[in-house]
Chain A
Amino acid sequence: MTPDAITVEGLTKRFREDGPAAVDAISFAVPRGAIVGLLGGNGAGKTTTISMLLGILVPTAGRITVLGHDMLKHRFRALPLLNFSSPYVDLPGRLTVRENLSVFGRLYGVRGPDERIAELAGELDLVAILDRKTGSLSSGQKTRAALAKALINRPELLLLDEPTASLDPDTADRVRGHLESYARKAHASILLASHNMAEVERLCADVLMMKGGKIVDRGAPDTLIRRYGREDMEQVFLDIARGTSSTDSEAAQ
């Protein structure tokens, strides 16, 4: 049986021994080929969770298995197979988009990096800006360049933090379409942190709702909308974030 793309058990992070848990004993799985949303307000623990999944933050407790590899013991076996983009991280601004993609292509050992860059440039509408300095791009163009970097190694698992932030509606729609198509064709899994609920409804087969470092609810967007008696995910998000829901969220865990 193919293992899940991500399996997390009892994952906990405390930044101080006696401090509160930024992530509090969460457990979840992301099946291969699935797009799963990680939702929550600011400070809910999404970025901390993603950082632990990527191996750049060491958990206080718990286990993480990514693509069959134990991330605490053998993260370098998994890292070539995954990638990420985040608004907290930039590509070097003084390098052109092409140069940046070339550097990361080499870091990931991509075969035929020039062909891969040309392919991504076409798919993400980067052809006209490939030879421009990354620092001179608009925020939307930077987001697309960062997404190209995240796809340079044809990852089996993509961790995306706000992938369509600062994109205009037309470009955001095309990027979502590209992500859907990439996940389908490459049978890749995507864990997506987003505040755009329309995006989540469109892309995600499943959603994990975080609050105060815990997963307080989970399920398919349609199921959650029905469970909360709401019309869309935006209202479900507000119910959970403000604690106004009558639903017993603990039962959902």
Chain B
Amino acid sequence: MNASLGRLGAMLSRHYYLFRGSWTRVFDLMYWPLLQMVIWGFITLFLNQHSNWFAQAAGVLIGAVLLWDVLVRAQFGFTLSLLEEMWSRNLANLFVSPLRPFEFGISLMTLGVIRSMIGVIPAALLAIPLFHYSVFEMGLPLIAFWSMLIMLGWSIGLMIASLLFRFGLAAESYAWASIFLIQPVSGVWYPVAVLPDWLKPVAWSLPTTHVFEGMRALVIGGTFRWDLLASAFALNLVYLAFGFAAFLYAFGRARMRGQLIQSSE
């Protein structure tokens, strides 16, 4: 157990050194969440003046953009930490060391959380003076929403990692694009009710839909929907189990094919 924690600490220190030596990387983490928050903040200001509904639901769009970025940054953070090892041709060094694949997976998950917090918390704080909206006013439910989105970010990160183990850097574009495939059916900006009937089952099969519907119920109706939290959690467990299975399977296949020593190809 102690040895495992030591190796986890080693992996985290590897990325701490990376950030310490490259402030542009830290800025890059914060850039898109800040930009998105500012754009959606001004859209919210405009809509507040022209729509009664938005005037009553002030902040729902800023809350949505911040929570959506929690998911995106968690997945990017996970995947980017793996890509850093592939870009620097360091995977073989890691996997001939005593580092276990599951420890490597946990280190990527931890880095996903850290990168997500570095990215989203400054944007959430800046929204307070700029738009008089504090996502933190959601209180404890915010932690629940945040956790559910982080879990899904891990699951998608694990699945993309399995593609990277299988196809190498040829699969890199999936690392950046995959997450946006679920955005139109996750009810981020609009309720699931607006989707056509045939698409609704797809939407409800995603934990994100339960989180964003839950957020709207809280911000607009002042009600915390435990049922939505429970269904998001149950779905997340399924996705996470599938993600870990895909990750470990792809890692095993990479060992069969010799892709760990030449992962750049």
Contact = CB atoms under 8 A, between A and B. Distances in A.
A82 B13 CA distance: 22
Contacts of A89: 89-93, 261
Contact of B96 (A15, A55, A102): A55
Contacts of B92: 54, 56, 86, 88-89
Contacts of A80: 98
Contact of B90 (A55, A84, A91): A91
Interface stretch (A93-101, A162-170, A196-204): A93-101
Contacts of B85: 92
B17 interface: yes
Contacts, number: 103
Contact of A103 (B10, B89, B260, B261): B10
Contact of B255 (A57, A76, A94, A107): A57
Nearest to A54: B96
B96 A84 contact: yes
Kindly state the interface size class of chain B when it binds its partner.
35 or more
Contacts of A47: 261
Interface string B1-31: 0010011011101100110011000000000
B90 A79 contact: no
Contact of B98 (A90, A99, A108): A108
A58 B256 contact: yes
Contact of B261 (A51, A83, A109): A51
A83 B13 CA distance: 21
A201 B147 CA distance: 60
Contacts of A94: 18, 21-22, 88
Interface of B: 3, 6-7, 9-11, 13-14, 17-18, 21-22, 84-85, 88-100, 252, 255-258, 260-262
Identify the 4 closest CB pairs spanning chains A and B, nearest first.
A106-B10, A99-B17, A92-B88, A90-B89
Interface of A: 15, 47-48, 51, 54-58, 76, 79-80, 82-84, 86, 88-96, 99, 102-104, 106-109, 133, 149
